[in-house]
């Protein structure tokens, strides 16, 4: 409601300026880009400052994704059911590995605890609403894991090679899934349905972060038909 009021005030100011300054001001006001939307859940990410910090944050983050992905078994689309099962299987195994590392290397540190879900309750949704909501929220959810993993790698915070390799795999695998999920949104719900992609400053040269094959384990979605040249 507050954002809508701000936009209304901006629009009113633009109209007043157009009446005073003429058509040139009107064109300039119309050319101004709209405010960038807030990415769901992105504000809850905390900086990664150590290997323990990464593991203790990533465990509840994975568990959040697993809970949401289980709801996709009710989806009408086989692609979504397959995506959900892949997330559940992969991230359940990864959670077990991370918990094992914490017990082995950081037995005196506090156990990971959830800091609040960034995914909505999907249990009451079905059909298109289930698929669309899951995709719109899981994309920024994956982006959080990608940025956390890249922080760990860029700053050399992982003293164990196993964790560094794990973080690289999480980063690259989840980026592949992000590309697939964005394709699904465009194909089924239109370009306007895609959520914002958070900025990732100071993250150059990320292997696997350039356009490439679709996410492993499933066929690529059909691209929307294009007209013209």
pLDDT in the model for residue 199: 54
pLDDT at 225 > cutoff 90: no
Can you give the three-state secondary structure of the chain, one letter per residue? CHHHHHHHHHHHHHHHHHHHHCHHHHHHHHHCCCCCCCCCCHHHCCCCCCHHHHHHHHHHHHHHHHHHHHHHHHCCCHHHHHHHHHHHHHHHHHHHHHHHHHHHHCCCCCCCCCCCCCCCCCCCCCHHHHHHHHHHHHHHHHHHHHHHHHHHHHCCCCCCHHHHHHHHHHHHHHHHHHHHHHHHHHHHHCHHHCCCCCCCCCCCCCCCCCCCCCCCCCCCCCCCCCCCC
| CATH numeric code, 42-193 | 1.20.1260.10
How confident is the model at residue 195, as a pLDDT? 76
Would the pTM count as exceeding 0.85?
no
Number of neighbours of residue 183 by Cβ within 10 angstroms: 20
pLDDT tops 60 at residue 3: no
Who has greater pLDDT, 23 or 115? 115
Tokens of 145: 């894991």
What are the sequence ranges of the domains in the chain?
2-31, 42-193
pLDDT confidence bin for 197, thresholds 50/70/90 = low
Q: In this structure, what token pair is assigned to residue 97?
A: 């590995």
30: tokens are: 């119309």
For 62-88, write each residue's pLDDT tens digit: 999 999 999 999 999 999 999 999 999
Residue 158 CA to residue 170 CA, distance in Å, equals 14
Q: Which residues of 219-229 are buried (b: 16+ CB within 10 A; e: fewer)?
A: eebeeeeeeee
Lowest mean pLDDT among 22-31, 72-81, 136-145: 22-31
Residue 160 confidence (pLDDT) above 90: yes
Write down the pLDDT at residue 193: 86
Average per-residue pLDDT in the chain?
77
Q: How far apart are CA 64 and CA 58, in angstroms?
A: 10
CA distance 153 to 139: 21
């Amino acid at each position: 409601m507050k954002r809508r009021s701000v936009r209304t005030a901006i629009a009113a100011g633009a109209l007043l300026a157009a009446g005073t300054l003429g058509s040139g001001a009107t064109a300039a006001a119309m050319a101004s880009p709209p405010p960038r939307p807030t990415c769901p859940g992105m504000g809850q990410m905390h900086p990664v400052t150590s290997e323990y910090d990464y593991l203790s944050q990533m465990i509840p983050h994975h568990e959040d994704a697993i809970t949401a992905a289980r709801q996709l078994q009710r989806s009408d689309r086989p692609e979504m059911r397959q995506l959900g099962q892949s997330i559940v299987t992969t991230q359940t195994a990864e959670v077990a590995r991370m918990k094992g590392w914490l017990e082995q290397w950081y037995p005196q540190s506090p156990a990971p605890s959830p800091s609040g879900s960034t995914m909505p309750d999907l249990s009451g949704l079905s059909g298109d609403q289930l698929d669309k909501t899951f995709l719109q929220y899981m994309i920024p959810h994956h982006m959080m894991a990608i940025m956390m993993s890249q922080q760990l790698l860029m700053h050399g915070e992982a003293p164990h090679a196993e964790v560094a390799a794990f973080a690289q795999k999480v980063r690259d695998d989840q980026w592949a899934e992000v590309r697939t999920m964005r394709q699904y949104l465009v194909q089924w719900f239109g370009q306007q349905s895609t959520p914002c992609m958070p900025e990732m400053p100071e993250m150059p040269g990320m292997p696997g972060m350039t356009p490439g094959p679709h996410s492993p384990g499933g066929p690529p979605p059909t691209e929307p038909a294009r007209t013209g040249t």
